[in-house]
Amino acid sequence: MNMESIIEQLRTNRTASREELVFLLENCGDTEREALRKAAQETALAHFGNKIYIRGLIEISSVCKNDCFYCGLRRSNGNAVRYRLTKEQILSSCEKGYALGFRTFVLQGGEDGCYTDEAVCDIVRSIKERFPDCAVTLSLGERGEESFRRLRGAGADRYLLRHETADEAHYARLHPANMSGAERQRQLFALKRLGFQTGAGFMVGSPYQTTENLADDLLFLKRLEPQMCGIGPFIPHKDTDFRDMPQGSLTMTLTLLAIIRLMHPRILLPATTALGTIHPKGREMGILYGANVVMPNLSPKEHRKDYALYDNKICTGDEAAECIRCLSARMRSIGYQIVTDRGDYRE
C-alpha cells in the first residue's frame, strides 16, 4: 500500500477501503498530513470560499437521564450542577444571537424528560415565527422516530446526534448496557429519512478506541452520508471513571477532519470547542484542515460553566458578543471570514 495513492484516491473517488484507511491513519507522517491538509483546505475553499458559517449554540439543559461513561453530565455525577432554560431564556438568547448575525440556532441538551415533544415543538415554532430567516438545529439525544417526526413538523431543520463510535463492542465500553450503537444508528437513519439535515460524529481518542474503530467510523459516515459531522478530541472529565484516561490527540483529530472533508466535499464540518480546548489555536487549525463551521456559545452566561461535558472547556466566562468578536478575529488571522448566513447543506 502506498500513502500517496491512498490520498489521491480519497481526493478523486472520495473513499478508500478499511485496510487503506487503517494504513493511512497509522502511518501518516508530517509530509502525508500536510498533503491531506492541503487537499482538504482546497476542497473546502472550492465549495465555501473563505467563508465560515457560525451556529449559535444554546445549551438548554444540563439534566440527562443517560449515564454515558465519558460525559460530565452523566446522571450518576452528583457534582454536576443541573439547570434548565425556560422558553423565554431560549428566545432571549436567540434575540441576542440574531443581532450578532447568527442565522442558525442550535438547541442542545441532555436527554431531559422535561422537554416533552409539546414543549420542544412550542419552542421551535416560536423561534421560527420570530426569526423566519433562521434555521433551527436540535441536539437533544435519542428521542425516537415519532418524536423526530413531530419536531420536524414543528419546523426544526436539522438534528445533531453523534454516533460516538460505529463499533458495537466499543460503543458498549463507553455506554451503559441500556444503550446500543445499533439503536443510535437506526435513529440517525430515521432523522435522514424525515428530511432533517442530519449530523453524526464521534470523539477522537475516546477510551479503548482503535485505529480500526476510526476507519469504521469513516466508513459509517460513507453509508449514512450525513449533511454535518461533529468530531473533537475526547477530553477527560474529573467526575467520571475516565478521569485518568489520556485526552485525544490534536494531530489525529486534524488528520480525521481532512479525511472527512475529502470523503464528503460539501459536508458541514465544525472546528469544535473541544478542539479549541486542547490547543489555543485548535479551531484555526481545524479550519486549515478543511472545517468550515464554528459554533460559538450563546447560552446565558450564568449557566455556561454548568454545561460541563469535559474539563477546562473554553468560552465559559465570555458573553456571546465577546465570543463572536474573538472568533471573527481568529478567523481573519488565517484569512477567513465569518458570514451571516443559514449555511444550509447544498447538494
Residues near ligand FES (CB under 6 A): 296, 315, 318, 322-323, 326-327
Select from ligand FES, ligand 5AD, none the partner in contact with residue 326, using the beta carbon and a kind-dependent cut-off of 5 to 8 Å: ligand FES
- Choose one: 15-23, 121-129, 228-236, 318-326; the region binding ligand 5AD (CB under 6 A): 228-236
**Among residues 20, 59, 157, 164, the one that binds ligand 5AD under rule CB under 6 A:** 164
Q: Cα separation of 254 and 33, whole Å?
A: 9
Complex with ligand FES: residue 68 or 327, whichever CB lies closer: 327
Select from ligand 5AD, ligand FES, none the partner in contact with residue 327, using the beta carbon and a kind-dependent cut-off of 5 to 8 Å: ligand FES
**Phi (first) and psi of residue 46, to 5 degrees:** -65, -35
Complex with ligand FES: residue 52 or 315, whichever CB lies closer: 315
Q: Cα separation of 158 and 104, whole Å?
A: 10
**Among residues 235, 245, 268, 308, the one that binds ligand 5AD under rule CB under 6 A:** 235
**Among residues 55, 162, 175, 264, the one that binds ligand 5AD under rule CB under 6 A:** 162
The answer for residues whose C-beta is within 8 angstroms of residue 123's C-beta and 6 or more apart is 87, 90, 91, 107
Select from ligand FES, ligand 5AD, none the partner in contact with residue 343, using the beta carbon and a kind-dependent cut-off of 5 to 8 Å: none
Contact of 139 with 108, CB cutoff 8 Å: yes
Select from ligand FES, ligand 5AD, none the partner in contact with residue 115, using the beta carbon and a kind-dependent cut-off of 5 to 8 Å: none
The answer for residues whose C-beta is within 8 angstroms of residue 90's C-beta and 6 or more apart is 58, 60, 107, 123, 127
Contact of 154 with 125, CB cutoff 8 Å: yes
Query: Strand order of the sheet with strand 337-339?
Result: 293-294, 51-54, 337-339
Contact of 247 with 209, CB cutoff 8 Å: no
48 binds ligand 5AD (CB under 6 A): no
Complex with ligand FES: residue 212 or 318, whichever CB lies closer: 318
58 binds ligand 5AD (CB under 6 A): no
Count of residues interacting with ligand 5AD (CB under 6 A): 12
Query: Strand order of the sheet with strand 135-139?
Result: 56-61, 104-109, 135-139, 158-160, 197-204, 228-233
**Among residues 203, 214, 295, 331, the one that binds ligand 5AD under rule CB under 6 A:** 203
Q: Cα separation of 9 and 24, whole Å?
A: 12
Interface residue list for ligand 5AD (CB under 6 A): 70-71, 162, 164, 203, 232, 234-235, 237, 274, 309-310
